[in-house]
Amino acid sequence: MSFDNQERSLDSGRPVRLYQFARGVLRWLYNSSDRDITRGTQVFRAVRGGILDEGIVQSGQASVDLFKINAPADLEVAQLYRSVPPSSEVALTVFDRHHGDNEDVVVWTGSIQSVRWPQLDSCQLICQPLSARMSMQGLRQGWERACHRALYDLGCTVNRDLYQVTTEIQDLTGASISSGTFASYPDGYFTAGFVEWSVGSGEYDRRAIERHSGSTLTLLGGTAGLAAGRTIRVYPGCDQTIQTCNDRFDNVLNFGGIWHLAGRSPFDGNPVF
């Protein structure tokens, strides 16, 4: 019997929901039944204690159409959000099918927005739909002296691999990491840059660098996930000025600001600009 026939049936349906969480090539696969289910080459595991969502909401407003999943507190994918959330999104695809039938349909797509633990033995994954991206800021170019581009993006064009510094963490606190390698660069060189380290399967976690002084980097979000002796890759930052763009990156042709902009506003009431 096809999925559609079982879905319309009054008594033949045996619905089960599959949850596929993905971060790059990493996968976390669960299903809402009491046994493992194979879909192609993937095995969606039954969760001890159960996993269940609160239903799909379609109000027409992406900001309120959140998809909430309740699961045991030790759910593997939820542990990524115990301290600092991962630096790249964890996507979610939800499939519906019926036991005994290999046909399924995609009923929801989006990503994890946040995770909370309302009780010691349970967690709730709050997910936003793919359509939520449509409400994000679009054009960001402004008529200003500072560059509006993000360092290393397609508009900036600076190749970050040319500035990559690989080193090991010699010491760390809850907010900063230290290495003698950093001291060989002038103070502030790595400020507004970022540090990254491997989390397996070609995926990396990242932290922005708030301040660089001597051999120490202070990280936004702290040092959760890092440890002394871990190999990291560090990239310098940019203060969005024409001087840094020229002196550090030799990239003036792609500078996104209007560095020679006059210091007076054309809207200050003076008709002579």
Question: What residues are paired with 115 via a beta bridge?
Answer: 125
Question: Rounded to an integer, what distance in angstroms lies between the CA atom of residue 136 and that of residue 134?
Answer: 6
CATH architecture, domain defined by 160-254: Beta Barrel (2.40)
Average pLDDT, the chain: 89
Which stretches of 97-226 are DSSP H helices?
Answer: none
pLDDT in tens, 77-93: 999 998 888 989 999 99
> What is the model's pTM?
0.80
Closest by Cα among 70, 52, 69 to 110: 69
pLDDT in tens, 35-91: 999 998 999 999 999 999 999 887 776 566 899 999 999 999 999 998 888 989 999
Beta-carbon contacts of 202 under 8 Å, excluding residues fewer than 6 positions away, are 24, 25
The domain ranges of the chain are 3-132, 160-254
172-191 average pLDDT score:
96
More confidently predicted of 82 and 20: 20
Closest by Cα among 174, 256, 262, 273 to 222: 174
pLDDT for 269 equals: 78
Residue 16: CA count within 13 A, CB half-sphere: 24
Whether the per-residue pLDDT at 156 is higher than 80: the answer is: yes
Whether the per-residue pLDDT at 26 is higher than 70: the answer is: yes
pLDDT for 264 equals: 74
Question: Rounded to an integer, what distance in angstroms lies between the CA atom of residue 48 and that of residue 69?
Answer: 15
Q: What one-character-per-residue DSSP string does 153-190 give?
A: STTT---GGGG-EEEE--EE-SSEEE-TTGGGS-TTSS
More confidently predicted of 62 and 222: 222
Question: Rounded to an integer, what distance in angstroms lies between the CA atom of residue 34 and that of residue 31?
Answer: 8
- Residue type for position 16: V
Question: Rounded to an integer, what distance in angstroms lies between the CA atom of residue 109 and that of residue 15?
Answer: 19
Considering only 9-13, 175-179, 254-258, which range has the smallest mean pLDDT? Answer: 9-13
